[in-house]
Amino acid sequence: MRKEKIQAIELRKRGRSYLEIQRKLGVSKSTLSYWLKSIVLSSAKRKGINDRAGRKSREALVRRNRLQTSLARERALAIHESAQAEVRRLKKQPLFLIGVSLYWAEGYKQNNDHGWKCVDFTNSDPAMVRLMMKFFREICAIASEKFRVQLMIHAGMNGKAITKYWKQITGIPKKQFLKPSTIISRASKGKRKKRLKYGTIHIRIYDVKFFHRMLGWIEGLKQIYNTECSSVG
């Protein structure tokens, strides 16, 4: 014990933290506190301890984030593969084919480590929006409370009236509508001629698993029909 105490004191005088000494010597923190209580470190050595602790904390955070990213990729890949396998069965349903195809054309599909993972269908055609709501509810079994709506309207348009209109089209409760976002088109320079009467609607579902499932369905359709087209050619 005498040897360990001398080593501990020497390490502390060199500016080592209690944790660093504890790991090196295998001595309890309470014992170290007793041995080292009379040692006062200079401000430079205290700064060195804090700097090393901060660096190690950041390194640990980076490692943890990398692990989480890797696990997230693995989970996403598993969902993609499962969804692709579902396509051969689900493609017999016209509503499935229409819904996935429309999302393929008009939905948010950016899939990277930093982007948000949200199903977001954007359109201004009420008939198409009704069809997508039918797809989400009947094929995807999305619960009513999971829908969120963001309306994009131009300055001067009646936000309340437009919200009421899309509420009737979608059947989504008003409380699930976000505040309409007002835009000014640079191309039109404030002119009203080509403005959409009811703006543009974003139907959003904040569900990471469903987002990856949708991408898997799209990929499944690509594979099936690309193969069929190639064989015909």
Residues in the chain: 233
pLDDT for 57 equals 73
Buried b / exposed e over 10-40, threshold 16 CB at 10 Å, is ebbeebbbbebbbeebebeeeebeebbeeee
User: Which residues in the chain come in under a pLDDT of 70?
Assistant: 1, 34, 37, 65, 67-69, 113-115, 185-194, 227-233
pLDDT for 48 equals 75
DSSP code at position 175: G
Strands 119-123 and 200-205: antiparallel
pLDDT for 137 equals 97
Strands 119-123 and 147-154: unpaired
Q: pLDDT by residue (tens digit) across 135-154?
A: 999 999 999 999 999 999 99
Contact (Cβ atoms closer than 8 angstroms) between residue 226 and residue 91: no
* Token code pair at residue 154: 């131009």
pLDDT for 188 equals 53
pLDDT for 73 equals 81
177 three-class SS: strand
Alpha-carbon gap, residue 181 to 155, rounded angstroms:
9
* Strand segments (E) across 99-211: 119-123, 147-154, 181-183, 200-205
* Token code pair at residue 75: 């989970």
Neighbours of 179 (CB within 10 A): 9
Contact (Cβ atoms closer than 8 angstroms) between residue 209 and residue 77: no
pLDDT for 44 equals 76
**What pTM does this model have?**
0.67
DSSP code at position 190: T
